[in-house]
């Protein structure tokens, strides 16, 4: 059996998809990559320590509104992260389109 060979660009795109938070199992099924290969690529590129989260901005208002403000800030932060993730996924999908068209045409 012949061993599959992947380009560096393809590997980078797959790692970007992984960085968006998509599960490894789904990535492997979608792109036809083994979990071992994907884990090896991730370990070669990614540092072992995790990236720290952005700090939450607090305001100095009265104590009654403080809890409500904190929840609003957390929700805004969560929505911003989700928006960034969606934008990144869209960009990755745009880059991956040429690869998916090549792999899905078997006729």
Which DSSP category does 32 fall into?
T
Binning pLDDT at 50, 70 and 90, where does residue 34 land?
very high
C-beta of residue 56 within 8 angstroms of C-beta of residue 77? yes
Q: Is the full-model pTM beyond 0.75?
A: no
What CA–CA distance (Å, rounded) separates 39 from 87?
24
Best mean pLDDT range from 40-49, 60-69, 74-83: 74-83
Structure tokens at 20: 């968006």
Task: Tally the residues of the chain.
Answer: 107
Tens of pLDDT, residues 65-87: 677 788 888 888 899 999 999 98
């Amino acid at each position: 059996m012949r061993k599959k060979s992947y380009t560096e660009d393809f590997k980078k795109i797959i790692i970007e998809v992984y960085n968006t938070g998509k599960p490894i199992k789904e990535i492997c099924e979608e792109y036809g990559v083994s979990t071992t290969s994907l884990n090896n690529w991730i370990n070669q590129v990614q540092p072992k320590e995790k990236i720290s989260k952005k700090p939450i901005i607090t305001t100095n208002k009265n104590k009654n509104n403080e809890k409500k403000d904190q929840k609003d800030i957390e929700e805004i932060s969560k929505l911003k992260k989700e928006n960034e993730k969606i934008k990144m996924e869209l960009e990755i999908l745009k880059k991956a389109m040429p690869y998916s068209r090549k792999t899905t045409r078997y006729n």
